[in-house]
Chain A
Amino acid sequence: MGADAKVAGSTRLMVGEHFMLGDHACAEGALAAGLDFFAGYPITPSTEICERLAHRLPQVGGRFVQMEDELGSIAAILGASAAGARSLTATSGPGFSLMMENIGLAVMMEIPCVIVDVMRGSPSTGLPTLVGQGDVFQARWGSHGDYSIVAFSPSSPQECFDLTIRAFNVADQLRIPVFLLMDETIGHMTERVVIPPAAQIPRTPRKRPTHAPGEKLFLPFKADSDLIPPMAHAGEGYNVHFTGLTHDERGYPALNAQAHEELVMRLSQKVSAHASEVTLVEEVNLEDAEVVVVAFGCTARSARRAVNLARQRGIKAGLLRVITLWPFPEEQVRRLAGSGRVKRFIVPEINLGQVCREVERLTSLPVDRINRAGGAMISPQSIVEVIAA
């Protein structure tokens, strides 16, 4: 439990102010969101999430299982969620790679779950203890085929707490896997975290069937006008067939082009139809900005300092902090690009160029890249140099 010997006992919600590790704040956010089930395989730099929940979750009536590997972990949380549990796993790049197949299964079977990836230097086992931000595209495109998911990127321990709660709510609302793309710096940073009382913690319930179990008319994969079908849980008496195969509204395999077109389009469109509700950004000094830095995670903290330093030198710089990486905040970037005031974008990130591709496809203005392979934060000074160039 780290240096803090006093970890709350049987209280699910540790209401109050804490000086808390980012990983622990993520675990506490999950508990606050009503986490029922965690299955995971510890891996640096996400291990502290696992440790904290191994200690805390059983005390508040939840189940914690340390699995044999990450394939087992993701499979277990899908099963638990299909039975109605709010379910979580936490990993880092190598484990995230192993989870990809069943992430596609979660998308196809429309099973809500939250997957935390605390990014470290990659590819492969890379730099276990050092920061990276190279899993941005993997989160979007890692499993095969076309689908849409939601991914949040916290820049502080407080946001680890807040966004974990939001991730559960979005997962349940849209019936999708939702990712929390943390990075090692944020996961291993300790800062003030305020945990509000229960009444202030929002909970979006899953949409549930209006039919009684056994009613012939119930079609478990028939979506409403919001493109989301109500979810029947295993063990409630409904006859529900879950499959990764293309299926019809009954859930039965329908192996033809028309059924496939309808299903895959709906799975993708149900996310884009709700994109504006889940796409979060923070705008810093953008009102009159001519140079816009687009950054996320720990790099956004360097970028904030850089923008302030540039302002002190009389340069009109601003920061668009991307909190929701997927769906990417296209509208916000387009609006800045079309303002007539912004002259160029700068995208610092601890990878060889991922988020910059999103910005590049949304504007014809110059986009300057600042890339590091991983292992260290990008310094504010190196961003200032590009702003001032």
Chain B
Amino acid sequence: MAASVPMTNGVTQVRIAGFGGQGVILTGMLLGKAASLYDGKEAVFTQSYGPEARGGASSADVVISSDPVDYPLVTNPDILVALFQEAYVRFRPLLREGGMLIVDDELVHPDAGETGMHAIPATRMAEALGRRIVANVVVFGYLVGKTGVISRDAAIKAIESTVKPKTYQLNLDAFSAGYERARGDRVS
């Protein structure tokens, strides 16, 4: 079971960072949409939009709160999802103390002193489902299962209303794989 939802003063800041093509933008969109439209919360989604985001790093930021979100940007994430090494190196120092770190442990090799990290071999799990491209949705499922920042129902509604109908089942399977892994998982 997930413990309490990571947050600071009632606000949860989430950064999902990967490289172009991993689908981090869609993941951020799904998370914000689920919170905002299907979970009765307030949410703002932004994406890094500078030259440094081209041809490599890509990150999606979501701020979730039960109250209206005023400042829309992520400063110190309560939850950091790092899907490649550079994202881990770059954003790990910003993670709030006591915040939650989630990585694809086949793509990220954390520092020796890293403790309390949550690892999921999302890309390999997606390959097992037949499509590497849904690794981001496996991560989304894991994130939801592990943190409880949004409900499972809201997440599934967001997937259903966003992805193309012919890919819905695949995405749902990917979400479920990640979600169930989180629910049966322990801190590594």
- B25 close to A189 (CB less than 8 A): no
Interface hits, A349-389 → B, CB 8 Å: 377, 379-380
Q: Hey, which chain B residues are within 8 Å of A3, CB to CB?
A: 25-26, 28-29, 162
B37 beta carbon closer than 8 Å to chain A: yes
Closest-by-CB residue of B relative to A5 is: B164
The answer, among A6, A19, A129, A301, for a CB contact under 8 Å with B71, is A301
Q: Hey, which chain A residues are within 8 Å of B46, CB to CB?
A: 185, 188-190
Query: CA A188 – CA B28 in complex, angstroms?
Result: 14
Known pairs A5-B163, A17-B37; A190 contacts B51 (CB<8 A): no
- A19 close to B33 (CB less than 8 A): yes
Interface hits, B1-37 → A, CB 8 Å: 25-26, 28-29, 32-33, 36-37
Query: CA A133 – CA B44 in complex, angstroms?
Result: 21
Highest count of chain B CB atoms <10 Å: which of A2, A3, A5, A188: A3
* Chain B interface mostly: mixed
Interface size on A, residues (CB 8 A): 27
Q: Hey, which chain B residues are within 8 Å of A6, CB to CB?
A: 161-162, 164
Distance in angstroms from B133 CB to nearest chain A CB is 13
Query: CA A308 – CA B36 in complex, angstroms?
Result: 23
Known pairs A3-B29, A19-B36, A129-B49; A192 contacts B71 (CB<8 A): no
Q: Hey, which chain A residues are within 8 Å of B29, CB to CB?
A: 2-4, 19, 190
Interface size on B, residues (CB 8 A): 27
Known pairs A6-B161, A17-B37, A301-B72; A192 contacts B42 (CB<8 A): yes
A304 beta carbon closer than 8 Å to chain B: yes
A302 beta carbon closer than 8 Å to chain B: yes
The answer, among B47, B69, B70, B161, for a CB contact under 8 Å with A188, is B47
The answer, among B45, B47, B75, B161, for a CB contact under 8 Å with A191, is B45
Complex A-B: 18 CB contacts under 8 Å: A2-B25, A3-B26, A6-B161, A19-B32, A19-B37, A130-B49, A185-B72, A189-B44, A189-B45, A189-B72, A190-B45, A191-B44, A191-B45, A191-B72, A301-B72, A305-B71, A377-B71, A380-B70
